[in-house]
Structures are given as structure tokens and as C-alpha cells.
Amino acid sequence: MIDVEDLIALVRNYNPRTNKDLIRRAYDYGRRMHEGQKRRSGEDYFTHPAAVAAILTEQRLDDATIVTALLHDTIEDTKSTYSEIAEKFGAEIAELVDGVTKLTNLQLSSTENKQSENFRKLFMAMSKDLRVILVKLADRLHNMRTIKSLPPEKQARKARETMDVFAPLAGRMGMQWMREELEDLSFKVLNPEARSSIIRRYVLLQNETGDVIHKITADIRSELEREGIEADVFGRAKKPYSIWRKMQEKRLAFSRLSDIYGFRVIAQSEADCYRILGVIHRRWRAVPGRFKDYISQPKSNGYRSIHTTVSGRDGKRVEVQIRTRQMHEVAESGVAAHWSYRDGKRAENPFAVDPARWIASLTERFDTGDDNDDFLENVKLEMYSDQVFCFTPKGDVVQLPKGATPLDFAYSIHTRIGNSTVGAKVDGIRVPLWTRLKNGQSVEIITATGQRPQATWIDIVVTGRAKSAIRRSLREEDRERFIKLGQELARVAFEHIDRKVTDKALRTAAKTLGLPDEKEVLARLGSAELSASEVIEALYPELATRQAVEEVDARRAVLGLTADQSFRRANCCQPVPGERIVGITYRGQGVVVHAIDCPALAEFEDQPARWVDLHWHSGRHAPVYTVSLNLTIANDAGVLGRICTLIGLQKANISDLTFVDRKPDFYRLIVEVDLRDAEHLHMVLTALEAESDVAQVERYRDLSRKP
């Protein structure tokens, strides 16, 4: 356990004017309160608060935060009280300790609806004083470093919670080092075999190529010295989880993954950052599409740096980050840099973000009164997003998450503009509304009076703000239509179980489901946010099974058509029940149903009158929906027979099979399989992926096939 004098020495390294007596009193008080308590490892419990305080000294934080770390478990785990801490250490520290206690009591890995409410509480606590979450993050980091003493099931739960909540939150706050360590510690628990494999392969690569990091660092230093530029150069291999994630995202083997090294150049000035960029690009070839200038367009948490990826020695891709010393301090501490001390004074870093403004920008869109699911979705989108910066026609900067579309851009300006959007121009060229925006593009939104959001927009936008606004508008505009449709769906569902749908029954269902009234039940039924089986189960649990097994007539599987309209599935995308769909009308041919992400829909962008908002019936569907699968299998005796048997075991029928490519070592074939729904498709794909003789399997979509 770290001694109190050693802890004070760590604080004095950056804050010579620290209140040594305050830290000593807090240390002695915390140790006395926790006396006799042990951790799972058998160590004295107070080793944990002391270690958390030491972690926070790495961020050069103020005395109040260090003392809070020493006391953060006293209210929860000892006889200490809020009033006693306030009396001994002051109201500020008592408030911080109380805030950490409340965060500790949140069960962030519980069920979705409960989790969303806990996220609300988390962000409310953060909004009062961000230092509360800094202590909680350090607390979680030390717990993850010492997690081996916990039972395996608790290790897994804590690791998943860390991966889902605390690691992305640390990243969102700009504390990238902490995010990487939390992710890697969680990865070690959740997938130890994969992590060990990555480490073994990296060691093998080092043995084959030598110390690449030292060589490239020396190369960069040599180039900078030749140009007379003073700068510090550091290199490192990326964390195992970071490498694993890239392998999964890019579907590459380790041997084909190139940018596993990262280098950082710390410059004397902002002007030198751009000079260094020029030197690196002259010496090595830049990789297109891998350049980001966060100096001219900083992130909302204050992060500033230039990122570029170049082909270095032996064609190896390496990422280089270029920043000044002050930028580096913010990059290491993120929003926490606001409290950093140097030489006994609060560090005057021009790049440190005001925490109050940062938390306000993060939470302002969560106060709209949307339901818990919307809130949880919004928070997670915000925490996991990278960013792009685009411009309005007047030159104003709009900050959006990676993957954002012109619709997201429109809603970020104002909900009224988003709701009335009919088109967009990017860099002066008309583009579809689902176009993914890139850094530096100029976006012009075209609006029209009377235009209203369409249901398909939900799947186009990526920001929580846009999704909430669209859902809210759709609910308001279509509420009456949805209520009428919901009445019909409820009537049919109740008839199936020999019951009559009454206002009283619906009011009871509303109460059980946590909805305000019977009209809300009907509206959600009609908008497919609630299924008829859920309503039946809420009222008659014993009859839910009977309701669930009712099979949908394939001729009436799609809802949203008029009485005289027929439908057929598009051959290009082959949508199945459970997937988001949209219809395109053809004169004399009825409605062709497409998956919402079908590229073939692009040709109908300028024909909105032909689009029909559709969704699948909520019941159980028959296995009559043909889907094409693209399989690559080993060319060996009995393999094809085993594959066919495997598909049959999933209760799926093979309706056709075509060999596309025959090689001495493998076959590639297209298999037509009749399925019930998206879940059935997932079962078949999972079973095939697990088969050792299947090299690759994916859903096959052929745009050359006519709808």
C-alpha cells in the first residue's frame, strides 16, 4: 500500500503548494474507517482508496479530488456519514464523496430499461461536478487491475460493464490512455485466448523484423534534425484489444494488419506541427483517407492533434500523431485537464475545455422527455462516436459523429430544418440523403413547406438528436392513423384468444406495460413499437404461448398496404420478416418490398410518391422466404453433404444450389434457403460459420436481378 508521505510526494511533484495536512488527515481517517476490512485478495481494504488516489495524481488533479479518492468508499462501506465528512473536510469534499457513492450504487449493466434510467443518473451526477466521474473512473481502473481475486462470473460482469460504459466514457472525455487500458483489461477477462494470441503474434513479428519501433522513431528524428526542427518522438505498439478490434472490423488476419504501430511527435509550437507534417509526407508516402486535422477542427473535449498514416519501412503502415506539449497534456487528461496543477497553480492550458460547457453540450439533447430507450440509444451513440466536421454555406462549422448524413446535419442546426428537409447538396452537388459526410465538406440543406419526416429516415440518421426528433414527429403526425391501425390489430389479436378488446382491458395493459393510457397502447401497436403478443402477454400470461404460435398468412405478411394492393419481395435484397422494409409501387404490378438498406432504392430517390411505409406482421411466419447464401467450402469428400445436413438441422429447406467457382482446394456456391425470418437467418449463418469446413459464408445480394 502506498504510504501517505509517498502520496504527498506524488502530489507535490506538480503542486508544491498542496495542503499536506488535509491529505494526511484524510489518509488517516480513511484508514481508520476501513480498519479490519479486507479485499477479496486478502489485502487491507484501504490499499484500494490509496491506489485510486495515486492514479489521480497522474492526472495532476487538485487536493479535493485526491482527498475524495481516499474517502470515496467511507459513506458506503463504513460508519462514516455525509455530515461527519462535511464537518471534518468541508462541504465540497463531502459533496464529491456523496456523488461517488451514488455512482457506485448504480447497476449500469442491468436490464435495458433500468440501465437507461441509471445512465440518466450518471449524467446528472456528472453535470454537478465532473470530478465525481474522474474518481469513479480511477476506482474502476484499479478494480480492473486487481480483478483476478473475484469469482469468474463477477469478473465477466464487471469486465462487460467496463467495456460497455466506463471505457467509452473515458474516451469521450478525452482520456484515451485510460480508455485503452480499461478496454485491454476487460479484453483479458472476456476473451483471454484472443488476447494471448495477439501478444504471441506480435512477439513473433518482433523476432522476425527486429525492433521496428526503435528504427522508425530514429528515422523520424533524423528527418526532423535534417530540417532543424526540435521535437520529441515516441513510438509504441497498439494495445492488444485495439489490434483485435481492427482485425474484426476489417476482417483481416494479423499478418495482413499493417498499422499496429503508433508514433507521437511532440512539437514546440503549432506552426512546427504543420512543418513536421510536411517533413513526414515528403519522406514517406501518405495513405489516402487517413489524414485528420484536429488542430484546426478540435474535438468537443478539447482534443487537438494532427493524425496521418504513412507507409514506413518495408511498406508497413504507421500512424503518426503530431501535437504541441499543451495539446498533449489535454490529449492525455482530456476534460480532466481543467483541474490540472503545475507549480502550485491551476495550469493555464488554452486548450483545456470548460467541464460545465462540455457536459452541457453532451446532455442538452437528453432533456427532451423522450422515453428511456431513446435516451439510452442517444447516450451510447454519443459515447462511441468519432467525429467529422462540415460547413454550412456561410462557413459555420457543424460537428457530427462519424457516419453522419445530410439529415443529421439538418437536425443538428434545428429540428424544424430537419423535419422539412427534401434534399441536400454536398460541395454544390445534389446527393441522396443517406450519403455519409466526410471531413471538410460544405453541406446545403434544401427544405420545403409541408414536408414531414418519413419513417425510413430513422435508418438513415445516426445521431440521437435526429432519431429522437424523427420519432417524435412521426408519433405526432401519424398518431391517429396508428391508433386506428392499432385498434384493428388489437381486435384480431384478441379474437385469436377468444376475447373482446375493451377500453378497460387496454387500460389494464397500459398500466402493466408502463404506458400512460389505452390510446398510447393502440398508437404503439399501430406503429410497430409494440407487438400484439406483448399486449396479450401483459393481460393473459397463460395465453401468451398460444398467441405466439399463431402463424402469419404469407399472403398478408406485410402491413401498410391498401386493400387492393398485392406485394412481392425484391429479388435484389430478398428481405425477410424482422428486417426494416419499404415498398416501391409499380403500375399494374403491385408493391415490391425492399430491405431498407437495399442499394437499388437509390434510383427511386427522386420519386417519393412511389414509396410506401411498410412493416412485417408481428406473428410467427412460415419458412417460405428464400434467401441466397454465398458459401466458400473446402473441396473435400463429404463436406457438401455435411453442409446440407447442417442447414436441415436448423429446420431450413434448400430450394436451389449453384456452383459458382470450383478450385482444387475449395468450392464457391450459392445456396437458396427457405427461412422464417431474420432470426432464422441468423441461426443458419451462425451454424455455418461455426463449421470448420466453411471458409466463408455471407448473405448474397445481387443487384443485377430485377426487383
As annotated, the active-site residues are 76-77
DSSP 568: E
Place of cell 518522438: 233
Pairwise CA distance, residues 400 & 413, whole Å: 11
Q: Which spans in 173-269 are helix H?
A: 176-190, 192-209, 212-226, 240-250
Q: Residues near 472 by Cβ (< 8 Å), separated by ≥ 6?
A: 368, 370
Taking a C-beta distance cutoff of 8 angstroms, is the pair 52, 72 a contact? yes
Q: Residues near 217 by Cβ (< 8 Å), separated by ≥ 6?
A: 233, 234, 235, 263
Place of cell 459523429: 401
Classify strands 694-699 and 306-311 as parallel, antiparallel or unpaired. unpaired
Q: Residues near 520 by Cβ (< 8 Å), separated by ≥ 6?
A: 510
Pairwise CA distance, residues 444 & 474, whole Å: 24
First to last CA, the chain: 69
Pairwise CA distance, residues 448 & 268, whole Å: 51
Pairwise CA distance, residues 122 & 119, whole Å: 5
DSSP codes of every residue in 368-420: S---HHHHHHHHHHHHH--EEEEE-TT--EEEEETT--HHHHHHHH-HHHHHT
CA 177 to chain centre: 18
Question: How would you classify residue 343: left for phi > 0, otherwise alpha for psi between -120 and 50, otherwise beta?
Answer: left
CB count within 10 Å of CB 428 equals: 8
Pairwise CA distance, residues 341 & 569, whole Å: 64
- Look at residues 430, 460, 455 and name the one whose alpha carbon lies nearest to residue 445: 430
DSSP 700: -
Q: What is the dihedral of CA 463, 466, 468, 474, to 10 degrees?
A: -140
Place of cell 473435400: 636
DSSP 334: G
Cell (9 digits) for 460? 438513415
Q: How many CA atoms lie within 13 A of 247 on its CB side?
A: 18
285 forms beta bridges with 311
Q: How many CA atoms lie within 13 A of 635 on its CB side?
A: 10
Place of cell 442499394: 599
3-class state of residue 134 by DSSP: helix
3-class state of residue 267 by DSSP: strand
Backbone angles phi, psi at 123, to 5 degrees: -75, -30
Backbone angles phi, psi at 318, to 5 degrees: -135, 140
* 524: amino acid identity, one letter: R
CA 521 to chain centre: 30
Pairwise CA distance, residues 105 & 157, whole Å: 15
